[in-house]
Amino acid sequence: MGLFDFFKRRAKNDESEKTAEKQPDTETTQTDESAPKADEASDSKVAQTQAETVSTANNDSSKATADTTPEQLDKKAAAPSEKTEDQNTDSSETGQTADETAPQAAEPQSLATASSTDEQPQAVTEQEPQPDAVTAENSEQSEPTEAERYDKGLEKSRLTFGQRLNHLLANFRSVDEGFFDDLEETLIGADVGFDMAMKISDELREEVKLKNVKKSKDVQNVVVEKLIELYDQAGSNEQNGLTFAKEGPTVILFVGVNGVGKTTTIGKMANLFKQQGKKVLLAAADTFRAGAIEQLNVWAERDGVDIVKKPEKSDPSAVVYDALKKAKSENYDILFVDTAGRLQNKTNLMNELAKMKRVITREIPDAPHEVLLVLDATTGQNALNQAKMFKEATDVSGIVLTKLDGTARGGIVLAIRNELHLPVKYVGLGEHVDDLRPFEPSEFVYGLFKGLIDVE
């Protein structure tokens, strides 16, 4: 099954799941809307009863006032003065009686209040999740699926590419030469590469005629479909997995310019294989950059793996030689070799790299089993140029693309695959130690183009 077929099937499944999730929400909303009506009816009955009670009391009071004679009114007016004389005498008795009576009157109310107070926490307690459920929920959140990692890591690239397509199609009138010129600029701006942009433009001309495409949405569908198909064709013979030794330690050499994240990549990969039960050894052969040895040593301690190192400015080949001896004698599964950042046009540094490879081959004839070029995805076309030069200078077997989550230039993977025919082996989808993931073409394509094409 091709990548585009996978894409369509995956998109349809996601739409079906979203539709299924919306139905229970609708039923819940209807139930919630009916509940207030009953409450409103109950409240209106209570208000009506209270109003009738107040009205009855007012009528009784007015009636009593009307039945009182003038003589009785005079006596009532004189009564306060008589009471004043006896007030001090009876105050203690009256106060005592009031104090005794008040608690009795208040007692039913306090019991009712206590009863309602006791009932409220029970309702809250029933809604609180159990500790086991919370732990399980946190565990699931801390371990996202591979699809979720790619979806989040490619979010910036997906949104930016979608915005570029929307901008292109906003003023769409017809599929003419002006449209194809704008399309080529859009694709080049999305870092898919000049060659691939031209190839898509040429094939799209034929596709538009064949399918008689006229609507802007149909044009967008054809563009995305062609991108996926060409990407699939360019990598049809690629091996995205790592090559391992049939026996003895597997030696993997990391190369690239300074600042792309080589040392961090090695630390993350060491953790990944340690979790798989592999015995991992690191070789700190970047003796040139200040702090490089200590940085790799920190990763070794964090991952719980061993490291071979020498003082700064030591011969990198000597570090590699010692690491090879240790890896063979102590039965290590994998040896990761860190190297100094070097520009592809620096002859001395490239010669040093060639020397290290000779030392490795002398000790283990079929090694290094992988030479991984680490590229920073945020540099876009500059990363593509680096890959071209390194491929000419040394035998690069694969690409590790770092910082893919921090850039809108995810299209660089399409350019690397189309122009260099170098497989992307690993991608960095986040800052956490487990966010360096084996490259999955199907997940990458879906994460990059999800929502940009109709699959009906």
The binding site comprises 256-263, 338-342, 402-405
Q: Round to whole Å and give the CA distance between 30 and 452.
A: 33
Q: How far is CA 405 from CA 122, 154, 371, in A?
A: 45, 6, 24
Give the 3-state secondary structure of residue 371: strand
How many helices (H) and strands (E) in the chain?
A: 15, 8
Q: What is the DSSP string of 382-423?
A: HHHHHHHHHHHHS---EEEEE-GGG-S-TTHHHHHHHHT-PP
Q: Residue positions in the annotated binding site for GTP?
A: 256-263, 338-342, 402-405
**Cβ neighbourhood burial of 406 (10 Å; 0-12, 13-18, 19+):** middle
- 398-402 and 280-284 beta bridge pairing: unpaired
The helix (H) or strand (E) run that includes residue 177 is: helix 177-189
| Gap between the terminal Cα atoms of the chain | 18
Residue corresponding to tokens 């040139």: 288
Q: What is the DSSP string of 238-252?
A: ---SPP--SSS-EEE
User: Shortest CA distance to 192 belongs to which of 444, 424, 425, 416?
Assistant: 416
The helix (H) or strand (E) run that includes residue 255 is: strand 250-255
